[in-house]
Amino acid sequence: MLAVRPAKIDDLDAITEIYNEAILTTDATFDIEPKTEAEQEAWFASHGPKNPVLVAELDGVVVGWASLSEWSDRCAYAGTAELSFYVKEEFRSRGIGKRLMEDIIQEGERVGLHTVIARIANGNNQSIHLHERVGFEHIGVMREVGQKFGRLLDVCLMQKIYPPKS
Ligand SMILES: CC(C)(COP(=O)(O)OP(=O)(O)OC[C@H]1O[C@@H](n2cnc3c(N)ncnc32)[C@H](O)[C@@H]1OP(=O)(O)O)[C@@H](O)C(=O)NCCC(=O)NCCS
C-alpha cells in the first residue's frame, strides 16, 4: 500500500538516508558530501505551511519524499518555489516518483504558490519526463555549471506556472 502524506520531524532520518544515498550515487543533486543531522534539521525547519514536504510510505516505510523549497529569501519571490523529489534506490521506477510529483504539485496549488521551478541535471530523462507530465515547460539550460564524478554537467531549467484561479 502506497500512501503520500505530509512529512513529520520523525521522518527526517528516513528523508536524510534517501537524500544522502542520492548524493553519493547520482548526479541528480549537486551536493557532494552527505548531509549531517544538524543540516537536515535546518532544512526541515525552513519548510512549513507555504513550503510543504511530503513523504511516500510503502507499507508504513518511508521510501521517498518531495519538497517545495523557498526559491529565494527575497520577498518578491514569495510565490515561487523549487521542487525536489527523491525515491530510495531499490524502490525506483515503480510509480512512486510519479505519485509524489502529482501530490506535491497539488500541494503547491493548495498553498497558493504561483510558480514552481526545477533544476534537473541534463540527461535525467525520467525526472524530465515526470516534470513534463504535470505541466512543466523547458525554460533553458545552464551549461557546464556542475562537476561531479569527473564530469561537467549541464542543468536543465523547467518551470510550471499555476493557472489563475477563477
Ligand atoms: C527521479 C525519481 C524521483 C523518479 O521516481 P521513480 O519512482 O523512480 O519514478 P516513476 O517510477 O514514478 O517514473 C515512472 C515514469 O518514468 C518514465 N520513465 C522511466 N524511465 C524513463 C527514462 N529513462 N526516460 C523518460 N521517462 C522514463 C516511465 O515511462 C513512467 O512514466 P509514464 O507513467 O508517463 O509512462 C527517482 O528515480 C529518483 O529518486 N532518482 C534519483 C534522484 C533524482 O533524480 N531526483 C530528481 C532530481 S531532479
Tens digit of pLDDT for each residue in 26-54? Answer: 999 999 999 999 999 999 999 999 999 99
Q: Which atom of ligand 1 is nearest to the CA of 18?
A: 39
State the distance from the centre of ligand 1 to the C-alpha of 34, rounded, in angstroms.
23
> Ligand 1, atom 26: nearest CA belongs to which residue?
126
Based on the number of CB atoms within 10 Å of its own CB, is 68 exposed (0-12), middle (13-18) or buried (19 or more)? buried
Q: Is the pTM of this model over 0.85?
A: yes
Confidence check: pLDDT of 55 > 80 = yes
Q: Are 121 and 100 in contact (CB under 8 A)?
A: no
